[in-house]
Amino acid sequence: MQYENSLAFARQLDKNDALRAYRKEFFIPKVNGKESIYLCGNSLGLQPRSVQKHIQTELEDWKNLGVEGHVHARHPWLYYHHFFSKSVARLIGAKAGEVVVMNQLSVNLNLMLISFYRPKGKRVKILMQANEFPSDYYAVEQQVRLHGLNPKECIVEVLPREGEVTLRTEDIVAKVAELKDELALVMFSAVNYYTGQFYDIKTISEACCKHKIVFGLDLAHAIGNVPLQLHDWHIDFATWCSYKYLNSGPGGVSGVFVNNHHAKNFDLPRLAGWWGNDEKTRFRMHKHFVPQAGAAGWQLSNAPVLSMAAHKASLEIFDQVGMRALRQKSELLTGYLEWLLQSALQSADAKVHFRIITPTDKKQRGAQLSIQTERNGKKLFDKITKAGVIADWREPDVIRVAPAPLYNSFEDVWRFAQLISAV
């Protein structure tokens, strides 16, 4: 598409946008009494208007039924986690039994590592990406220590080449091959939180499969953002959060994927609680844990229904829209933003000092662009914030912006680019 830098053109794109009606399904925060330009959906997605109704339903059932709500609520609480399987499985390319919604992301990451990081003999190492999210480092580091091993020796990072910021697939694959007999696990965020790079997960997984190395994913910045085929890609396990692109509210419930080829591997060590036990015998209060087959067997506690109600509201929207249409708009929207920023850079005005560190290849990114500022970055950020932009500043010099295709408009993106050029 031939883009143009004008408000009229941005509005024309909005008019032609098949998803434009969805913006009205969300509350857009205001700054100084005016709708903000909200570009922070990669950090906390906006509230769908339908959330209140869904939470209200559970509050009423609790009010009117008390404990009976476990069985007689409109959405019986006993089975609450079942209500998500199909929707979540669709988002990540999984079979329904391969997913379960539960806990929080870092909790689930630890649960998954307990089962899937099984150092043995020479195979003790974990391969990660450089610049991974801190919580993931902490989890991996402590898991290594739980095995009495030294994180300094066991955690290996794939680094960008000199002068580069993102990683090359061939370098990741080469590292897997180089360390093949020492790796117990490869653990990657599918989309890097800082650069916005979407890795070639299929190719990395093929390398792991070839050398029989377990491959796990953190989908925090990937779910609801980029197309995923976890089952077909032979991913062993994954976890994510629901409050970023999935718009399910602060601290919203997480979920895990466990590939069907581990579904009945009851020898895998795991942490346990009654909710992971076979549903038929859960209330017999036996002493011995009989895990359910599949991802559900990793549950510990009964479902946090109020928080899950928000998740349910949000997933209904994803069910309606589907990832294909969402991705289509997302590529166009982020593409337009990139084009506008690049034009600003190429304009005669030499005062613009930034570069985009997110890959230019659409296949290697989702909805996020990370803008690295040369100097006075924080000042620039503060100025656009004052002007009504809600975005994200990452020390030392990066502004992250994420046009979310469910509620951001082409006009949002155009106005943002105008502000960046102006200040």
Ligand X SMILES: *Cc1c(COP(=O)(O)O)cnc(C)c1O
Q: What is the largest CA-CA distance in the chain?
A: 75
Site membership for ligand X, residue 165 (CB under 6 A): no
Rounded distance, CA 401 to CA 212, Å? 37
The distance of closest approach from Cβ of residue 295 to ligand X in the complex, given in angstroms and rounded to an integer, is: 18
* Contact region with ligand X (CB under 6 A), list: 19-27, 130-138, 147-155, 206-214: 130-138
Q: Between 250 and 322, whose beta carbon lies closer to ligand X?
A: 250
Q: Is the peptide bond before 396 cis (omega within 30 degrees of 0)?
A: yes
Q: Figure out which of the listed residues 125, 221, 312, 329 binds ligand X, where binding follows CB under 6 A.
A: 221
| Dihedral sign from CA coordinates of 59, 60, 64, 69 | negative
Q: Between 189 and 277, whose beta carbon lies closer to ligand X?
A: 189
| 85-114 binders of ligand X (CB under 6 A) | 104-106
b/e per residue, 77-102, with b = 16+ CB within 10 A? bbebbbbbbebbbbbbbbbbbbbbbb
Say how many residues make up the chain: 423
The distance of closest approach from Cβ of residue 251 to ligand X in the complex, given in angstroms and rounded to an integer, is: 7
The distance of closest approach from Cβ of residue 393 to ligand X in the complex, given in angstroms and rounded to an integer, is: 16
Return the CA Rg of the chain.
22
Residue 243: which of 417, 404, 385 has the closest Cα?
A: 404
Q: Figure out which of the listed residues 110, 189, 307, 364 binds ligand X, where binding follows CB under 6 A.
A: 189
* Contact region with ligand X (CB under 6 A), list: 30-38, 218-226, 354-362, 379-387: 218-226
At 74, phi and psi to the nearest 5? Answer: -60, -35
Residue 230: which of 243, 244, 219, 242 has the closest Cα?
A: 219
* Contact region with ligand X (CB under 6 A), list: 15-23, 217-225, 373-381, 395-403: 217-225
Q: Figure out which of the listed residues 136, 236, 392, 412 binds ligand X, where binding follows CB under 6 A.
A: 136
With 0-12 / 13-18 / 19 or more C-beta atoms within 10 angstroms meaning exposed / middle / buried, residue 135 is middle
Q: Between 220 and 380, whose beta carbon lies closer to ligand X?
A: 220
The distance of closest approach from Cβ of residue 5 to ligand X in the complex, given in angstroms and rounded to an integer, is: 32
| 337-396 binders of ligand X (CB under 6 A) | none
The distance of closest approach from Cβ of residue 266 to ligand X in the complex, given in angstroms and rounded to an integer, is: 27
The distance of closest approach from Cβ of residue 411 to ligand X in the complex, given in angstroms and rounded to an integer, is: 28
Q: Is 258 helix (H, G, I), strand (E, B) or coil?
A: strand
Report DSSP letters for 354-377, one per residue: EEE-S-SSGGGB-S-EEEEESSSH
**How are beta strands 237-240 and 214-218 bridged, if at all?**
parallel
Q: Between 134 and 269, whose beta carbon lies closer to ligand X?
A: 134
Site membership for ligand X, residue 133 (CB under 6 A): yes
Q: Figure out which of the listed residues 135, 169, 260, 418 binds ligand X, where binding follows CB under 6 A.
A: 135
The distance of closest approach from Cβ of residue 104 to ligand X in the complex, given in angstroms and rounded to an integer, is: 4
The distance of closest approach from Cβ of residue 217 to ligand X in the complex, given in angstroms and rounded to an integer, is: 10
* Contact region with ligand X (CB under 6 A), list: 133-141, 148-156, 199-207, 356-364: 133-141
Q: Is 204 helix (H, G, I), strand (E, B) or coil?
A: helix
Residue 128: which of 197, 218, 62, 195 has the closest Cα?
A: 218
Rounded distance, CA 271 to CA 111, Å? 7
| 234-263 binders of ligand X (CB under 6 A) | 241
Q: Between 110 and 364, whose beta carbon lies closer to ligand X?
A: 110
How many residues bind ligand X (CB under 6 A)? The answer is 12
Rounded distance, CA 338 to CA 321, Å? 24
| 191-210 binders of ligand X (CB under 6 A) | 193
Rounded distance, CA 229 to CA 92, Å? 6
Count other C-beta atoms under 10 Å from residue 280's C-beta: 9
The distance of closest approach from Cβ of residue 366 to ligand X in the complex, given in angstroms and rounded to an integer, is: 12
With 0-12 / 13-18 / 19 or more C-beta atoms within 10 angstroms meaning exposed / middle / buried, residue 18 is exposed
The distance of closest approach from Cβ of residue 192 to ligand X in the complex, given in angstroms and rounded to an integer, is: 8
* Contact region with ligand X (CB under 6 A), list: 14-22, 69-77, 214-222, 320-328: 214-222
Which residue matches tokens 């602060």? Answer: 250
Q: Between 135 and 260, whose beta carbon lies closer to ligand X?
A: 135
Q: Figure out which of the listed residues 58, 61, 98, 218 binds ligand X, where binding follows CB under 6 A.
A: 218
Rounded distance, CA 383 to CA 381, Å? 5
Given the rule CB under 6 A, which residues bind ligand X?
A: 104-106, 133, 135-136, 189, 193, 218, 220-221, 241
